[in-house]
Amino acid sequence: MVSEIKLLSIDQATVKSGIAVHCDGKLTMYDIIDLDKEKVDIPERIYVMVDRICGFILKNKPDCVVLEDVAMQSNPATLILLSRLQGAIIGCCRVNKIPYDILKPPNWRKALGFKQGQGIKRPQLKKQAVEFVLNNYGLKLSEDVCEAICIGNAFLRMNKI
């Protein structure tokens, strides 16, 4: 069992990315990178998001970064953009010798006991993340930040940290 770890978890997206930091298993910080009002084209927005996420990683100096795996999208262009974003975050971690892990959405949700599967839609999954954070941390936050917190929490549980 590993102790005293600083974990940075990310729910990355092209417009709003949630970020959370757990130190020694306790939530110590959370934030959102919100590019909704940025007036840049989509490829430039990806570069801006990468810069901000990588800046956050370098500023916080985590022992490990965990991010959500890219899931199938109804729009292939969105899948490509999310894959590029994920690849850039992985590159940032590799260049800076920061270990990282990638959790598939069904796996991290299962670790937290979320109801999922047939008939459970995306809004219901997001709502479960918001409720999990409210019930476990007493915080009422955006769904992006809540998912980042949940991803980190699930990683800690899955690895018994």
Give the model confidence (pLDDT) of 102-149 as tens digits: 999 999 999 999 999 899 998 899 999 999 999 999 999 999 999 999
Q: What is the dihedral of CA 142, 61, 42, 128, to 10 degrees?
A: -30
The mean pLDDT value of the chain amounts to 93
So what's the pLDDT on residue 160? 84
For position 86, what pLDDT does the model report? 96
Condensed to tens digits (0 to 9), the pLDDT of residues 61-74 reads: 999 999 999 987 67
Quote the distance between the C-alpha of residue 56 and its chain's center: 13
pLDDT in tens, 23-61: 999 999 999 999 998 877 888 889 999 999 999 999 999
For residue 44, the model assigns a pLDDT of 86
8 Å CB contact between 98 and 66: no
pLDDT of 1 higher than 70: no
Supply the pLDDT for residue 55: 97
Residue ranges and CATH numbers for the domains of the chain are 6-158 (3.30.420.10)
Region 72-95: mean pLDDT is 90
Query: How much is the pLDDT for 24?
Result: 93
**Residue 31: strand pairing partners:** 19
The residue type found at 57 is: I
Query: pTM above the 0.75 mark?
Result: yes
Residue 139 φ/ψ, nearest 5 degrees: -115, 135
Q: How confident is the model at residue 3 (pLDDT cuts 50, 70, 90)?
A: low
pLDDT at 101 over 70: yes
